[in-house]
Amino acid sequence: DGGITQSPKYLFRKEGQNVTLSCEQNLNHDAMYWYRQDPGQGLRLIYYSQIVNDFQKGDIAEGYSVSREKKESFPLTVTSAQKNPTAFYLCASSWNRFMTEAFFGQGTRLTVV
Amino acid sequence: QKEVEQDPGPLSVPEGAIVSLNCTYSNSAFQYFMWYRQYSRKGPELLMYTYSSGNKEDGRFTAQVDKSSKYISLFIRDSQPSDSATYLCAMSASNDMRFGAGTRLTVKP
């Protein structure tokens, strides 16, 4: 089945640690996105990539980093510079730049302990 | 002022009711308007999208867009308990997609 797979589903991070969230898609989509979801707020864009080896900052990129070495994969690293990382992280992909048929993964819940 | 405003609810209705969900926005550059459904602790799933102004119907769901008023709506007819979820509106211009905060809907049997 085609889709987007995020792992792990739950992740716990200690203060000062970097952690990496995985996102893999087999939809052959060029564009991939990372969003953060907090209670009472809409999804906020962290980073996006329209093509392999290229990515752009979104609205809240500080404290995060990404790579796009393969079309299928778009991992997100939450660095120790991110002061409030506890949130629900969602990865998405789309075949067009308007995201009219964007597919989302099932999310990763990151908690700082 | 947020770029997309959506009443967070919560909204509780009896089974069979007609549900109306709404969003307003401020950026006139948005061209595509989407509605997503999100169950608890899951990723959003696309319900439908509309280009520019007008109506679009898909089964029990109808999306309306009024670009002159910067107002979009989703209507759910004959609501079912399985419709209980958070509904997110979203709108996009090229390489820019914005989401509402989501409305939590509960349909009671």
Q: Read out DSSP for A62-83?
A: TTEEE--SBTTB--EEE-TT-S
SS3 B83: helix
Average pLDDT over residues A45-55: 94
Q: What long-range pairs does A25-29 form, CB within 8 A, spacing at least 24?
A: A25/A72, A25/A74, A25/A91, A25/A93, A25/A103, A26/A2, A26/A72, A27/A2, A27/A3, A27/A93, A27/A95, A27/A103, A28/A71, A28/A95, A29/A93, A29/A94, A29/A95, A29/A103
Residue given tokens 């999208």 in the structure block: B49
| Range with lowest mean pLDDT among A52-56, A104-108, B50-54, B97-101 | B50-54
At residue A1 the predicted structure's pLDDT band, cuts being 50, 70 and 90, is low
Chain A nearest CA to B10, separation (Å): 11
Asked if the model's pLDDT at residue A105 lies above 70, the reply is: yes
Coarse DSSP helix, strand, coil percentages of chain B, rounded to the nearest 5 percent: 5, 60, 40
Asked if the model's pLDDT at residue B31 lies above 80, the reply is: yes
In whole angstroms, give the CA distance from residue A14 to residue A72: 29
Average pLDDT over residues A20-25: 98
At residue A61 the predicted structure's pLDDT band, cuts being 50, 70 and 90, is very high
* pLDDT value, residue A100: 80
Percentage, residues of chain A above pLDDT 70: 98
Average pLDDT over residues B39-54: 91
* pLDDT value, residue A101: 81
Average pLDDT over residues B19-33: 94
For chain B, the residues whose C-beta falls within 8 A of a C-beta of chain A are: 2, 4, 6, 8, 31-32, 34, 36, 41-46, 49, 51, 88, 90, 92-95, 97-102
In whole angstroms, give the CA distance from residue B95 to residue B67: 19
Does A42 sit within 8 Å of B100, measured CB to CB?
Answer: yes
Asked if the model's pLDDT at residue B65 lies above 70, the reply is: yes
Cβ neighbours of residue B68 under 8 Å, at least 6 residues apart?
B53
* pLDDT value, residue A96: 82
Average pLDDT over residues B77-87: 97
- Outline where chain B has alpha helix (H): none
pLDDT tens-digit series, residues A32-44? 999 999 987 889 9
Average pLDDT over residues A46-64: 95
Does B43 sit within 8 Å of A101, measured CB to CB?
Answer: no
* pLDDT value, residue B1: 66
